[in-house]
């Protein structure tokens, strides 16, 4: 059975009076008393100005549920107020003189709200990696020809495919799968195919004619197609797993050797290990080992402790594989880096 990750429309669900974590939320050393939201901010970025652990912002937002139905709707121009007694974060206006502190919500056009994580980090992924148990993708269609005289093709061009029915109007295009190995055991976790774009059926037949609607790479014969689905809303609140989780970076999107902030990685753990969408994990890098030799030429080998260097936010979970967005890092993320409960 082919399983596919489709585009995600991100929104945030807030916790009101949820279970407290063992450690209290700590303020950043240079936390301001107020901050005015600007276009391009995210909830994670805003919270990082106030908190040492920005992913724990759902624990400190003080909102009135009767005043706001969607607490994630924060807009440019609004002022975030810090109450250090909690600490708590509130939405309000700058105050002076004898003005009363009063959290308020302002009306702005839909579409200008502040997202939880940067949409620009997700938008390039028209469809996310496809994970299949079948390396041959026997259920998928196949592009058998492009426009005459063109080896490669792109947006606006027509392609011709077999095993594509007109029951589905829009299809997602993928390159052939490649195995995704576990970086520790070498076991194949699944077969992954990179998204190339989408196409719409314009004439049924054998082969079927499709027009390419979008593309992130040039498309050629042999590329595969699966029916598209509607984007689904991905509602979550960032939180740590309730159990100890341990895994490793298994892959980096687009096959590069290392990556950084606001890029997508895959990992060798998934739902069966207790992961769910919205979980935050800490990145750890291996420092390797060292050999100590004393004056008498005696030697001892020591495995150096791992170093925590970043955080990732999980946005899609399969049985044995999960995908995450790198949110914070002070160095490159590489295949084999460790992931653990923060």
Domain edges within the chain: 8-116, 130-231, 235-287+301-340
Instruction: Look at residue 101 in the predicted model and tell me its pLDDT.
Output: 44
Query: Can you read off the two tokens belonging to residue 82?
Result: 């810090």
Q: Is 181 exposed, middle or buried (0-12, 13-18, 19+ CB in 10 A)?
A: middle
Instruction: Look at residue 192 in the predicted model and tell me its pLDDT.
Output: 83
Instruction: List all residues 6 or more positions away from 275 whose beta carbon is below 8 Å from its beta carbon.
Output: 241, 245, 269, 314, 317, 322
Instruction: Look at residue 236 in the predicted model and tell me its pLDDT.
Output: 61
Distance of CA 98 to the CA centre of its chain: 45
235-287+301-340 is a CATH 3.30.710.10 domain: no
Give the closest residue to 43 by CA, choosing from 74, 68, 17: 74
Instruction: List all residues 6 or more positions away from 306 whose beta carbon is below 8 Å from its beta carbon.
Output: 284, 285, 286, 287, 338
Instruction: Look at residue 104 in the predicted model and tell me its pLDDT.
Output: 45
**pTM, full prediction:** 0.70
Instruction: Look at residue 275 in the predicted model and tell me its pLDDT.
Output: 94
Q: Could you report the average pLDDT of every consecutive run of 10 residues in the chain (342 residues)?
A: 36 38 79 88 85 84 49 74 85 51 42 55 48 69 86 88 90 85 92 85 94 88 84 65 93 82 90 91 89 88 90 88 90 94 92
> Helix count (H) and strand count (E) of the chain?
1, 25
Classified as helix, coil or strand, 49 is helix
Instruction: Look at residue 81 in the predicted model and tell me its pLDDT.
Output: 87
- Length reported for the chain: 342
Instruction: Look at residue 154 in the predicted model and tell me its pLDDT.
Output: 85
Instruction: Look at residue 185 in the predicted model and tell me its pLDDT.
Output: 93
b/e 98-121 (16+ beta carbons within 10 angstroms → b) = eeeeeeebeeeeeeebbbbbbeeb
């Amino acid at each position: 059975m082919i399983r596919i990750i489709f585009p995600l429309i991100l929104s945030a669900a807030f916790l009101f009076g949820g279970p407290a974590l063992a450690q209290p939320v700590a303020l950043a050393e240079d936390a301001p008393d107020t901050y005015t939201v600007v276009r391009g901010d995210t909830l994670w970025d805003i919270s990082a100005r106030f908190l040492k652990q920005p992913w724990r912002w759902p624990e400190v937002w003080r909102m009135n549920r009767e005043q706001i139905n969607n607490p994630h709707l924060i807009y440019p121009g609004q002022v975030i107020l810090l109450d250090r007694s909690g600490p708590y974060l509130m939405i309000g206006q700058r105050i002076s003189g004898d003005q009363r502190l009063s959290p308020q919500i302002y009306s702005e056009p839909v579409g200008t709200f502040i997202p939880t994580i940067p949409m620009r980090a997700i938008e390039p992924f028209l469809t996310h990696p496809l994970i299949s148990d079948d390396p041959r993708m026997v259920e998928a269609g196949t592009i058998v020809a492009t426009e005459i005289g063109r080896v490669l093709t792109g947006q606006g061009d027509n392609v011709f495919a077999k095993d594509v029915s007109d029951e589905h109007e829009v299809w997602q295009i993928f390159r052939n799968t490649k195995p995704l190995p576990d970086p520790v055991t070498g076991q194949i976790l699944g077969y992954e195919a990179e998204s190339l774009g989408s196409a719409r059926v314009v004439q049924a037949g054998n082969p079927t004619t499709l027009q390419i609607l979008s593309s992130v790479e040039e498309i050629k014969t042999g590329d595969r197609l699966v029916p598209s689905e509607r984007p689904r809303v991905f509602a979550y609140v960032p939180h740590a797993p309730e159990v100890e989780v341990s895994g490793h970076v298994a892959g980096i999107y687009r096959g590069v050797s290392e990556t950084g902030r606001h890029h997508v990685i895959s990992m060798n753990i998934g739902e069966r290990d207790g992961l769910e969408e919205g979980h935050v994990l800490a990145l750890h890098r291996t420092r390797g080992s060292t050999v100590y030799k004393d004056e008498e030429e005696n030697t001892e080998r020591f495995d150096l402790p791992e170093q925590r260097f970043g955080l990732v936010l999980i946005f899609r979970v399969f049985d044995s594989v999960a995908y995450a967005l790198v949110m914070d890092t002070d160095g490159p993320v590489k295949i084999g880096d460790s992931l653990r409960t923060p």
